[in-house]
Chains A and B, each alone.
Chain A
Amino acid sequence: MAAIQLQNYTLVITGAPYSSQAPQTALSFARSAIAAGHTLDRVFLYGDGVHLASAFSAPPSDETSWPAEWAIFLKDNDIPGVACVASALRRGLVNESEQKRYELPASNLLEPFVIAGLGEWVEGTMASSRVIYFHAGG
């Protein structure tokens, strides 16, 4: 097979953990992309995908914690993980500053994820050579 040209990927996850397979397919893809020498510009969580950035997810101990696995992967590889602010606020995912602004009882954004606007996705599409979406199945 001819040599593969190295790419810079933006990954967009729109399927939630525990109601879709999207976060795990995306993580396996991301690990393989890094192992092959490609780069990940950023990972953007949109729609139901923002649930992946919840620090309050507590699956049974014999099930994989997809938020935790993703957080470790992003930290180890120094890749930005961004949750869309409009999607996040509607679905109850907030960082400390949004908690204060909306006077909510707690914040639940898992590090190293950050909350930002859709402009982060637009920048990803402009900066990357490939944008791959991981939607909920069915």
Chain B
Amino acid sequence: MTPIHTLHILNKAPEHPRSVACMGALMPGDALLLTENAVLALAAQCSTLAGIRVYALAPDVAARGLGQCTGEAALVDYPAMVDLTAQAQNVISW
């Protein structure tokens, strides 16, 4: 697995201004982890992001009834979330 430059942890619904800012800040080599209400993006029609790995926190996905529509996103549990933060060179919590 190629190293993650910046892991962006997003916990806000797609309409939130900070979600919009986060999407605009993603660079090739970064990874995006959707947590809490950010997983609602899996239900909305979102464009795929070239060169960006997308993860979603499974307990938040399951809680919101979105287990069937994860699309391109890889589901991770809390231990895997910890792993992502340990692997990434930088972490930004939006």
Contacts and interface: CB of A to CB of B under 8 A. Distances in A.
A and B touch in the complex (CB under 8 A): yes
Interface of A: 1-2, 4-7, 9, 21-22, 25, 28-29, 31-33, 35-36, 38, 130-135, 137-138
A130 B12 contact: no
Interface residues of B, number: 25
A4 B36 contact: no
A83 B55 CA distance: 31
16 contacts: A1-B1, A5-B86, A7-B85, A21-B11, A25-B11, A25-B36, A29-B78, A29-B82, A31-B78, A32-B79, A36-B79, A36-B82, A130-B85, A134-B93, A135-B11, A137-B38
B93 A38 contact: no
By Cβ-Cβ distance, the 6 closest A-B pairs, closest first, are A133-B93, A32-B78, A137-B36, A32-B79, A28-B78, A137-B11
B16 to A, nearest CB: 5
A137 B93 contact: no
B70 interface: no
A2 B3 CA distance: 11
Interface string B38-64: 100000000000000000010100000
B82 A138 contact: no
B31 to A, nearest CB: 14
B86 A137 contact: no
Nearest to A33: B82
A4 B81 contact: no
A112 to B, nearest CB: 23
